[in-house]
Structure 1
Amino acid sequence: MIRFLIISALSIVFLTSCALKTTEGLRQVDFIKVEVENPYFSNPEIDYVYKAKIEVYNKNFGGILIIKKTGIKTHRVVFTTEFGSKLFDFKFEGDDFTKNFVVEDLDRKFIINILRDDFKLLINEKANVLMAYESDNQSVFKTKSDKRYNFYFLDKETEKLSKIVNTSKTKEKVEIAYTAIEENIADIISIKHNNIKLRIDLEKFKK
């Protein structure tokens, strides 16, 4: 009996420690939507231009980030200084990634891989829904991303995407938050990592 109680207690502790904070307070629901959409960088007629700050392992980079949809599944992501010197230049075409240029201070394999994954998540327009959750004011859709998962948070009233959380089975890894959204353009975007020292802050460039 005592052995059974100890095993039960340990099981509860283990399951609690493995539970994602992302789904705390949410209730699982049936879903009709088979795909969830991210519309913020989907218009090929728009040059998405942001003032950008990137903090990576105590190094800070500031400048202008330009994201342009150049084809059905193709985006170009270019980060420059305010004087126009390139810091990096990436091309995304479906699952293919091309590093056109990276300044020396950022040209480390693990940093490139992180930036690649961050921007791929940022510009990915559609994902297949695995599960759905809801709260009183949010609809949340779980999708698969290689060995990880992405949770898309949509405001129930406006149906606008407000947040994406990238997770392993047990831990939150990356969070993308969108605020001040008008006409499928987010004025402010923040990308925050929970396990490494990397953060990206974007503010829409106003003419």
Structure 2
Amino acid sequence: MRYLLISLCFICIGCASYPKKNNFVKKEASGIEVRNLYFSDKTQDYVYKANIDVYKKHFGGIFIVKKIEDHHHRIVFTTEMGNKIFDFSFINESFTVNYILEDFNKKILINILKKDFKALIEETPTLLNTFSHQNDIVFETEINNDKHYYYNKNNTIHKIVRTGNRKEKVVFTFSEISDTIANLITIEHKNLKLKINLKSIQK
């Protein structure tokens, strides 16, 4: 009987939602809107030195995000010599591959990058719940049917976690934050070998 109870406990823990597994405390909140302002300024060119490690390949270069109009961003990754590696457009809910290098031209990888970059530029994700966790306010949101948790401290987003099957799938970390610029951004996948490091190039 004791072993049965232990097994049931493990099953319950394994089936717990991401907030329950991490001991989030539900907060009653009304009139709150989640705002991600990191790539929201149309007058700003967001330029980063980038390193992308995907499976066993390494790519270094320049990563540029440009907000062209409301709900319209363009994301370009080039070599330091200016040769394009990929060039994506996000307009409302549509996504267009303007160009992509053969090494990246795989449907699964394109879909992963689409999800990652959509989370980076999404300014007002759909808010589902609000929690507190240690010193953070955590917003449970939904972007294209995927749960994302925005960790907010002192009104600043410093981490976003995308989950699947109640587990962390992708962790976005923002650091060295100045106003609405995150000078360092890391995107790390937990279930595959893909990591993106971005370091702002100051002008």
TM over 0.5: yes
Structure 2's unaligned 5+ residue stretches are: none
* Structure 1 residue 6 displacement after superposition: 6.2
Match of 1:74 among 68, 72, 75: 72
Equivalent position amino acid for 1:16 in 2: I
CA contact (8 A) 1:54 1:201 kept: yes
* Structure 1 residue 160 displacement after superposition: 0.4
Q: Distance in 1 between matches of 2:49 and 2:25?
A: 37
Change (3 A) 1:92 1:177: same
Equivalent position amino acid for 1:140 in 2: V
* Structure 1 residue 32 displacement after superposition: 2.1
For 1:28-107, list aligned pairs within 5 A: 28-107=26-105
**Is 1:184 aligned to residue 185 of structure 2?**
no
CA contact (8 A) 2:126 2:143 kept: no
Match of 2:10 among 9, 13, 29: 13
Change (3 A) 1:6 1:152: same
RMSD over aligned Cα atoms: 1.7
Give the SS at the match of 1:35.
coil
Q: Distance in 2 between matches of 1:175 and 1:19?
A: 19
Percent of pairs with identical residues: 40
Change (3 A) 1:63 1:20: farther
Q: Distance in 1 between matches of 2:71 and 2:164?
A: 26
Q: Provide the residue aligned with 2:201 in structure 1.
A: 205
CA contact (8 A) 1:149 1:169 kept: no
* Structure 1 residue 130 displacement after superposition: 1.0
**Is 1:165 aligned to residue 149 of structure 2?**
no
Q: Distance in 2 between matches of 1:112 and 1:203?
A: 22
Change (3 A) 1:175 1:20: farther
Give the SS at the match of 2:38.
coil
Give the SS at the match of 2:125.
strand
Deviations 1:149-199 (A, max 9, x none): 0000000xx210000000024211111000011120000000000001001
Instruction: Tell me the matched-pair count.
Output: 202
CA contact (8 A) 1:20 1:172 kept: no
Equivalent position amino acid for 1:90 in 2: F
Q: Distance in 2 between matches of 1:25 and 1:16?
A: 12
Normalised to the residue count of structure 2, the TM-score between the two structures is: 0.93
Give the SS at the match of 2:139.
strand
Deviations 1:4-62 (A, max 9, x none): x6665433211212335665142111112442111000000000000000010110000
